[in-house]
């Protein structure tokens, strides 16, 4: 319930105290004192024990305070961007690693009781760290132990827990069948919870569409701690968590998905060209072939500035999966895409599962032990930044030329073009929250580095912003669209204060288009108090009954490169 703030009489010394307080580093503002942390931990443990009906001695391995020797390793294990793995990065007060539905339910209820923000992490691939950092005191709910994958070939389906990885999903399917697959991402350590709740796509999207197009059921823990399946949650909430992100509405426990048929033999290939050997023509022609060719063919385009023979240039690479034999795709592209120059010796035939290994850059994919997909590669993050765009009309050839020159000038940041068309264009834009079905292709801006330096980080982040700005005239407009699973705080963040809806609409329209309106209504209905929130979550409607508002203010998103200092506006009621 909303209440009117009490009248506050402020003396001049107190006013200067406020100025001093709000110039403190964010890391100090977000970190409770050791004694306070212990008190919070004990209160949470007591609540968690009562809710799960388990002795505290049995659950201490699932609740980690900052003083626990394992706290750091548990936190770092699923941080997939080293930018958010530094000594100055804000840390959670508690990490909860549930092993059952009742654990998740208790974690939600107890976090709400203690009035702590709850960040939900499945695989940790949130590019800007929104699933595991915050400027405000927070807990992390780490779902990595909720990882069961149950495949039923007889019904062509699988139940997949939110904490499972895509590699584990593909491996469990491969154990049961060599002619079944699932249309999802190419990175095996990505967590299912985030991937599917945000839409999910992979190298079969032109044949089958998005991952969420094959979701048949789901389970979620709502704000009241109830475990709900599709029937219990209703079609609106089910729709929201199949492309609208899971963390705005509750904690997604898992999905039941339909498997898809794949050929016993598929073909993969990679072809590279440079600026002086036809790369401009290849990229330009790709725009009219990649999104329109046989839907069994997915050709990803990678564009990267490189130094070759001591000369700065641009390399363009086509990396492809064809759901068929090599002779067929070579003949197809000889006719449709001669600029590629594909030859049979460029191609490799293998099983679909082996192609997943190949896309993960495994040398000799046909000889690799399939169990490598069970390796989660914990605590192995590099530094990086990602952004996204969508292209609705082909970029002119002169535009490609100018793009190459700009990339050489910037020096490191690369681009990934992912073609749409095929099945994607046949699904209504409001069938799921994902609205970008009719675009030609998606652009990912990508830059990685190894140096742990705030100054170097600032430079690479600036490269991303400069190239993004350069591309303005070539990409979608009104809104300039973005892919939700490529989290990017540059396009807007939400402090969840009095302007929450307006702030949320800025990034919400970019991610979800007109589907944003329905998502807001669903969010308001299922979580009117806005307990499930992060810097880019779906806001509630203004003045929603029971909406919890933080103290009036405005905070900067934490950024090491930008300086970890809060800039706040405090409303002082002086009468």
Q: Which two tokens stand for residue 412?
A: 């490191």
Torsion of CA 144, 251, 110, 223, to 10 degrees: 180
Identify the CA nearest to 533 among candidates 493, 566, 560. Answer: 493
**Per the residue annotation, which of 78, 420, 445, 486 is the catalytic one?**
486
- Report how far Cα 84 is from the mean position of its chain's Cα atoms: 15
What is the DSSP pairing of strand 157-161 with strand 180-181?
Answer: unpaired
Q: Which two tokens stand for residue 478?
A: 């009104």
End-to-end CA distance of the chain: 24
Kindly give, in sequence order, each residue whose CB lies less than 8 Å from that of residue 457, ignoring residues fewer than 6 positions away: 83, 383, 449, 560, 561
Q: Which two tokens stand for residue 550?
A: 């933080």
Contact 108, 118 (CB under 8 A): yes
Q: Which two tokens stand for residue 563?
A: 């300086």
The helix (run of H) or strand (run of E) holding residue 181 is strand 180-181
The helix (run of H) or strand (run of E) holding residue 289 is helix 279-289
Q: For residue 12, with 0-12 CB atoms within 10 Å meaning exposed, 13-18 middle and 19 or more buried, which class applies?
A: exposed
Contact 191, 240 (CB under 8 A): no
Angle at 517 between CA 183 and CA 540, to 5 degrees: 105
Residue 131 to residues 83, 110, 550: CA-CA distances in angstroms? 14, 19, 20
| Residue 201 annotated among the catalytic residues of the structure | no
Beta strands in 40-173 (DSSP E): 63-65, 94-96, 117-121, 138-142, 149-152, 157-161
What is the DSSP pairing of strand 180-181 with strand 260-261?
Answer: antiparallel
Torsion of CA 92, 94, 100, 103, to 10 degrees: -120
Kindly give, in sequence order, each residue whose CB lies less than 8 Å from that of residue 462, ignoring residues fewer than 6 positions away: none
Residues serving a catalytic function are 486
């Amino acid at each position: 319930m909303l209440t009117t703030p009490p009248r506050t009489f402020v003396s001049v010394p107190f006013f200067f105290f406020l100025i001093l307080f709000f110039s403190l580093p964010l890391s100090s503002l977000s970190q409770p004192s050791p004694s306070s942390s212990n008190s919070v931990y004990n209160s949470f443990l007591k609540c968690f024990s009562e809710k799960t009906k388990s002795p505290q001695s049995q659950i201490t391995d699932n609740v980690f305070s900052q003083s626990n020797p394992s706290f750091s390793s548990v936190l770092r294990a699923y941080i997939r961007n080293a930018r958010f793995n530094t000594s100055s990065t804000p840390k959670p007060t508690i990490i909860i690693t549930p092993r059952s539905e009742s654990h998740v339910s208790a974690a939600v209820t107890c976090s709400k009781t203690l009035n702590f923000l709850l960040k939900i992490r499945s695989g940790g691939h949130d590019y800007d760290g929104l699933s595991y950092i915050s400027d405000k005191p927070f807990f992390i709910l780490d779902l990595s132990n909720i990882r069961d994958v149950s495949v039923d070939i007889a019904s062509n389906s699988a139940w997949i827990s939110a904490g499972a990885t895509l590699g584990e999903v593909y491996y469990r399917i491969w154990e049961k069948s060599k002619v079944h697959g699932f249309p999802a991402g190419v990175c095996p350590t990505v967590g299912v919870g985030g991937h599917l709740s945000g839409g999910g796509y992979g190298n079969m999207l032109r044949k089958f569409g998005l991952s969420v197009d094959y979701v048949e059921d789901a389970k979620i823990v709502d704000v009241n701690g109830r475990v709900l399946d599709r029937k219990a949650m209703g079609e609106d909430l089910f729709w929201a968590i199949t492309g609208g992100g899971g963390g705005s509405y509750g904690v997604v426990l898992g999905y039941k998905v339909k498997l898809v048929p794949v050929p016993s033999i598929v073909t993969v290939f990679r072809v590279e060209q440079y600026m002086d050997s036809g790369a401009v023509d290849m990229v330009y022609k790709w725009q009219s072939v990649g999104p329109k060719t046989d839907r069994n063919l997915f050709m990803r385009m990678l564009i990267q500035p490189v130094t070759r023979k001591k000369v700065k240039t641009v390399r363009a690479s086509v990396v492809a999966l064809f759901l068929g034999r090599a002779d067929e795709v070579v003949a197809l592209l000889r006719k449709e895409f001669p600029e590629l120059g594909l030859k049979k010796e460029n191609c490799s035939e293998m099983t679909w599962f082996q192609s997943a290994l190949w896309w993960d850059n495994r040398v000799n994919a046909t000889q690799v032990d399939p169990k490598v997909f069970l390796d989660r590669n914990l605590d192995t993050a590099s530094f990086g930044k990602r952004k996204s765009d969508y292209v609705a009309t082909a970029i002119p050839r002169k535009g490609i030329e100018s793009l190459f020159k700009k990339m050489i000038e910037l020096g490191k940041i690369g681009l990934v073009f992912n073609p749409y068309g095929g099945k994607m264009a046949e699904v209504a834009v409001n069938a799921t929250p994902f609205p970008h079905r009719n675009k030609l292709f998606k652009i990912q801006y990508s830059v990685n580095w190894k140096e742990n330096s705030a100054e170097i980080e600032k430079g690479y982040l600036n490269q991303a912003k400069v190239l993004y700005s350069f591309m303005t005239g070539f990409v979608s407009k009104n809104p300039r669209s973005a892919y939700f699973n490529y989290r990017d705080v540059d396009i807007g963040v939400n402090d969840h204060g009095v302007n929450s809806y307006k702030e949320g609409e800025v990034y919400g329209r970019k991610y979800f288009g007109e589907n944003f309106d329905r998502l807001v209504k669903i969010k308001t209905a299922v979580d009117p108090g806005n307990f499930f929130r992060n810097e880019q979550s779906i806001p509630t409607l203004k003045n929603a009954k029971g909406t919890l508002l933080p103290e009036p203010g405005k905070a900067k998103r934490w950024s090491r490169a930008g300086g970890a200092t809060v800039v706040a506006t405090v409303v002082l009621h002086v009468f």
